[in-house]
Structure 1
Amino acid sequence: MTAQTPTTAPADDAPLEVPVLDLSGMRRPDGSFDPDFLARLRHAAHHVGFFQIVGYGAQPGQVEDLFRVTAEFFARPEAEKMALHNQNSPHWRGYSAVAAERTQGRPDSREQLDFSPDREPVPAERIGADEQYWHLQGRNQWPAQMPQLEEQAMAWTALMDRVGEELLGALCVAIGLDEDHFADAFDRDRAWMAKLAHYVGGVAEAGSQGVGLHADYGFITLLLQDEVGGLEVRPYGQDEWLPVEPIPGALVVNLGEMLEVATDGYLMATIHRVQSPPEGVDRYSVPFFYSPRLDAVVDRVELPAELAAQARGVSDDPDNPMLASFGANMLKGFARAHPAVTQRFHPHLLG
């Protein structure tokens, strides 16, 4: 499909907020993208980097059932959860306990279960020095006592993969590209990531850090959060943190470093964090990271002159550089977030 030119959008000097977009109105009856939807999407993606979506196609009861089985899993005996410990996985898959994951060098007050597409691992002898990201491919770990957890989590990721594909196409058209601009990178074996997360308040080691400030390293993040709240974003050029108020059943969407690299900062991987809930309060979330193949390399796109003039450049951190190779960018993130796993299976990555 050819690119379309968005028409109207909120004024650039309007107060920043996290807008809500209805995906059911994204396309017109003839299948083309609605220009007004594209304008609002482009404004949100450029100025805030975060927005929420409704009308994305979840089945009745699907959200509630997913949260229910997630809470049931984290309420299981510690021994059952530790049997799925990610330190048993050279692919950084499985369970990690409260304060085991680190952001900005500090522990996060959440426990989680990480999973991705379940595939045969790549034999170590076939992985070259510049292809270390293939260590990320492998098998998931699920609780045998709860088959419904895998069933519902994987059904959710199938939906999220379709939503991510639609949104990426709309974003491309919104910035003057063809809808299928990134199709080659997403062809065949996509390496999406997902996790079930449980935030716990009152963890002395973590303090108020549910998850420390960071940007995501993929393309598009689709987050299902419960009604407790705690997610905050800091858009480009802003000093204040903007709360992302929970909307039951909505998805919070933010853009990752791959799109920031590709658009030279016109689309931003916005910094965000999660404040831990009060002691005695549980917070659950299910983030999904829509991602291409591990070996995909993202080149700079050619934006229309009007948009290129507004590109801010890549907000690179010399201690955490953004990489055009998706697999390398993802590996860097996992190696830092889970140093115990990295030390056990891939100590050379910590050098």
Structure 2
Amino acid sequence: MSTTRTSVPVLDLSTARNADGTFNAAFIDTLRDAAHNVGFFQVTNYGAADGQVQELLETLAGFFRLPLEQRLELDNRTSAQFRGYTRLGTEITRGRADSREQIDFGPDREPLAEVPADQPFLRLQGRNQWPAGYPELERVALQWAELMSGIGADLLAGIAVALGQPEDYFAEPFAQTPAWMGKLVHYVGGQVPEAGTQGVGSHADYGFVTLLLQDLIGGLEVQPHGQTEWIPVEPIPGALVVNLGEMLEVATDGYLMATIHRVTAPPPGVDRYSVPFFWSPRLDAVIETVPLPAELAAEARGVSDDPENPMLSSYGANVLKGWVRAHPQTAAIHYPSLGA
């Protein structure tokens, strides 16, 4: 049985590979421990350009200072892909409003002309919404998404090696059209009475690997498997917070866990900004069980049994299930048969 964790490990990504390009064994051991026992870790030295983090955070803050009517020109209720601007207090987690507003974006692709009735999640392919009068937001967000895509793929390769597999083990579901997601998030305290102190309620992520850039305000907390204590994820300037999603929990029968986490809203008058990026496979990807080595399989804990949130091996079905719950107004317009 693992010991109680009181902090989130920090990994230096510049030490991940040896000079010949293979993964460093000590790094893999640290990665395996963090992924299995905590499900969260932070990474430093991941290759951001000088000033890139500061420019991103300052640019997204500038968007949220625009008048509400300009932000609402990107209203996500107009998008079957749940893309665009979500108003303060209208995203729901565990049945309760969150104290945040945000922009959601993803790969900008032509929506499919025909979608099979049994695969409604294929409608999630589509276009982004960006402010025409503030073009720098699209520029910095897509530059960040490109950087995060490479890091997400490399970390997933490292996770494969940590599970006793070749580093390209998870590559096929991401081939050609990965359905990554990005968010630009503004947390605001004291303006959503029904939220209380909930910035975002306790939840697990839908996909494979989440890469989060957070500012220095703090508020993110995690609860590793089997623990009642919540661990604060102390901000490290410029670092990425990494956590694993439900696809990896399903694929490893719980050896890797989609760790529950939450965000406490900042005090009234204090703004908190964050940029989560979800490295996710094709919408039609179905994830098979990883053939774990015997010593790892013996430590698999089984998939979390939550009847209110069943985990699905189909990525598209899993993410659509989550978005329908989180955005009931948008879902009612575009997916009325699915309910919330």
Q: TM-score range by the shorter chain?
A: over 0.9
Unaligned runs of 5+ in 1: 1-10
After TM superposition, list the pairs within 5 Å mapping 1:271-290 onto structure 2: 271-290=260-279
In the other structure, the counterpart of 1:194 is 182
TM-score by length of 2: 0.98
Q: Retained in 2: the 8 A contact 1:99–1:206?
A: yes
Hey, what does 2:223 align to over in structure 1?
A: 234
Structure 2 counterparts to residues 200-349 of structure 1, below 5 A? 200-202=188-190, 203-349=192-338
- Alignment partner, residue 55 of structure 2: 65
Deviation of residue 153 (structure 1)? 0.2
State the AA in 1 paired with 2:17: R
Equivalent residue in structure 1 for 2:153, among 152, 165, 169: 165
| Structure 2 counterpart of 1:105 | 95
Deviation at 1:242, TM superposition (A): 0.4
Separation of aligned partners in 1, 2:23 and 2:134: 41
The CA deviation at 1:319 is 1.5
What CA deviation, in whole Å up to 9, does each residue of 1:272-303 have, x standing for no partner? 00000001000000000000000000000110
Alignment CA distance shift 1:13-1:320 (3 Å)? closer
Please tell me whether residue 137 in structure 1 is matched to residue 122 in structure 2.
Answer: no
- SS of the residue 1:273 aligns to: strand
Residues in 1 aligned to 2:118 and 2:289: alpha-carbon distance in whole angstroms: 21
1:336 is matched by which residue type in structure 2? R
Q: What residue in structure 2 maps to residue 118 of structure 1?
A: 108
Which TM-score applies when normalising by structure 1? 0.95
Q: Give the aligned partner of residue 176 of structure 1.
A: 164
Aligned Cα root-mean-square deviation (Å): 1.1
CA offset digits 1:186-242 (Å, max 9, x no partner): 110000001100000012121100000000010000000000000000000000110
Q: CA deviation at 1:14?
A: 6.8
Q: How many residues align?
A: 339
**Preserved CA contact (<8 Å) 2:253 2:301:** yes
2:17 to 27, 42, 50: 27
Query: Post-superposition shift, 1:15?
Result: 4.2
Does the aligned pair in 2 maintain the 1:16–1:48 contact within 8 Å? no
Query: Structure 2: how far apart are the matches of 1:73 and 1:253?
Result: 25
Q: 1:108 to 1:51 in 2, by over 3 A?
A: same
**What runs of 5+ residues in structure 2 fail to find an aligned partner?**
none
1:15, 1:94 → 2: CA distance? 37
Indicate which of 122, 128, 135 corresponds to 1:147: 135
- Segments of 4+ moved more than 3 angstroms: 11-16
2:84 to 71, 85, 94: 94
Query: Per-residue CA shift, 1:230-274, capped at 9, x if unaligned?
Result: 000000000011000000000000000000000000000000000
What amino acid is the match of 1:177? Q
Task: Specify whether residues 91 and 15 from structure 1 end up closer, same or farther in structure 2 by C-alpha distance, changes over 3 A only.
Answer: closer
